[in-house]
Structure 1
Amino acid sequence: MTTTLTAPAVEKLAGTGISHKLGLWFAHLYVLGMCGTLAGAYFFQFGLGEYPCPMCLLQRMFFLLSAIGPAWIIVRSRTGVVTTQEFASGFGWAILAAVLGSAISASQVLMHIVPPDPGYAGALFGLHLYTWAFITFVLAILASAIALFLTAVSEPGTVARTSAALSRAAKITPAILMTFVATNLVACFLLQGLHWKMSGDPTSYQFLTDLGW
């Protein structure tokens, strides 16, 4: 049976200290961590001029998809209450997307693991970006699993409406995620242009090349 809490009941529970904000702040950290990972990929793409391959773009997509689950928890927190089901569904979605993303990045690692294959694009601390992507996905899975394991003390539950920091963060973090979603779509369009298939080893922005730039 589902129980709907009224606004006065929510306020009453919030005042009793039942609210667990650790899980909610972790949801923000998770989303921002995924966005930070994409920001690093953007630095390699736009700062160092290294064009991502189709598998790289797939990994970016799963970074964003994984962040959607915790972002849903954040959006739901605006109502004042995040149920256990919503908390579990959000991080369950994060784990599923991260598992699929790790499979893609692991496949790319295996494609370039045999010497003397130099790997695709540049490296950071001796590891290529797809290797770092695999590590990030694995850490995301572990972190989400721990959050679920500690649901009793980490789920947001009743979120105090008077928390100014959480109220501001609940608006800013999803906006940051949507910004990365939009910029990733633009980057993909520039790389593939109006073609059905993208080059496996892009050397330019196909859309701009087709325009004669």
Structure 2
Amino acid sequence: MSTNATTSASPAAPAAGTRPAGLSHRLGLWFAHAYVLGMCATIGGAYVFQFGLWEYPCPMCLLQRMFMLLSALGPAMIIARSRKGAVTTGEFASGWGIAIVSALVGGTVSGAQVLMHIAPGDPGYAGALFGLHLYTWAAITFFLAALAAGVTLVLADRAAPLDAAAGSPALRRAAALTLAVLALFAVSNFVACFFLQGFHWQMPGDPTGYRFFTDLF
């Protein structure tokens, strides 16, 4: 009888595979938000050149934007999963793995474009920011993104957002906003690509306008 009383008085054991989330887990999920928004901000900077300075992106530039969106998709999957409940360490690691692979491939594309214009006297493609062209900034961004995602992956056991972090009201509100921002940039990038290419199978290597409108009018 005493044994039963002791058993009933003891706290319930946590479910298998879960544990209370501490500060490190909440920070891990907040960092996923920062990563997604950082990638979107980078694309937003490219939009300033495209729509503010009328510098049309080349196909390689657009490809780099797509890999930025793909890299942001990994952490976005973690954020979306956290809205439904617990996120396992495996799901957390898979999301950041997608971020790393996409950043490495995107960095290869931007690195190839850097090498294309590395010859002395080559003015490079389009404008520059602080003396560096956008594809150079993209290469730097991909490198830093892969590094940050790799460190987060190493710390997955400590940073994985589990029950308590996933249930945070602030994180739930932030999740809706972050996912909406990513969706906005994904759709806007698709629309921009369509207007640049129009109904043609290929986009010119040095576009001078939006072919959809030039063909229409």
Output the TM-score relative to the length of structure 1. 0.91
Secondary structure, counterpart of 1:37 in structure 2: helix
2:144 aligned residue (114, 134, 139): 139
Which residue of structure 2 lines up, in the alignment, with residue 189 of structure 1? 194
Deviation of residue 159 (structure 1)?
3.4
Aligned-pair identity (%)? 65
Contact 2:32 2:76 in 1 (8 A): yes
Which residue of structure 2 lines up, in the alignment, with residue 84 of structure 1? 89
Unaligned segments of structure 2, at least 5 residues: 1-13
Q: How many residues align?
A: 203
Identify if the C-alpha distance between structure 1 residues 139 and 58 changes in structure 2 by more than 3 Å, giving closer, same or farther: same
Alignment pair present for 1:155 and 2:152: no
The 5 Å alignment of 1:62-141 reads 62-141=67-146
Which residue of structure 1 lines up, in the alignment, with residue 39 of structure 2? 34
CA–CA distance in 2 between the matches of 1:60 and 1:161? 29
Deviation of residue 30 (structure 1)?
0.3
Alignment pair present for 1:199 and 2:204: yes
CA–CA distance in 2 between the matches of 1:32 and 1:161? 19
CA–CA distance in 2 between the matches of 1:94 and 1:161? 20
**Residue by residue, what CA displacement relative to the aligned partner does 1:127-158 show, whole Å, maximum 9, x if unpaired?**
00000000000000000000011122211122
Output the TM-score relative to the length of structure 2. 0.89
**Residue by residue, what CA displacement relative to the aligned partner does 1:3-25 show, whole Å, maximum 9, x if unpaired?**
xxxxx969x955x8588111100
CA–CA distance in 2 between the matches of 1:53 and 1:17? 45
Identify if the C-alpha distance between structure 1 residues 83 and 116 changes in structure 2 by more than 3 Å, giving closer, same or farther: same
**Residue by residue, what CA displacement relative to the aligned partner does 1:23-65 show, whole Å, maximum 9, x if unpaired?**
1000000000000000000000000100000000000000000
User: Amino acid of the residue matched to residue 29 of structure 1?
Assistant: A
Deviation of residue 101 (structure 1)?
0.1
Which residue of structure 1 lines up, in the alignment, with residue 7 of structure 2? none
Unaligned segments of structure 1, at least 5 residues: 1-7
Contact 1:38 1:60 in 2 (8 A): yes
User: Amino acid of the residue matched to residue 196 of structure 2?
Assistant: L
Which residue of structure 1 lines up, in the alignment, with residue 10 of structure 2? none
Contact 2:28 2:160 in 1 (8 A): yes
Alignment pair present for 1:24 and 2:29: yes
Which residue of structure 2 lines up, in the alignment, with residue 3 of structure 1? none
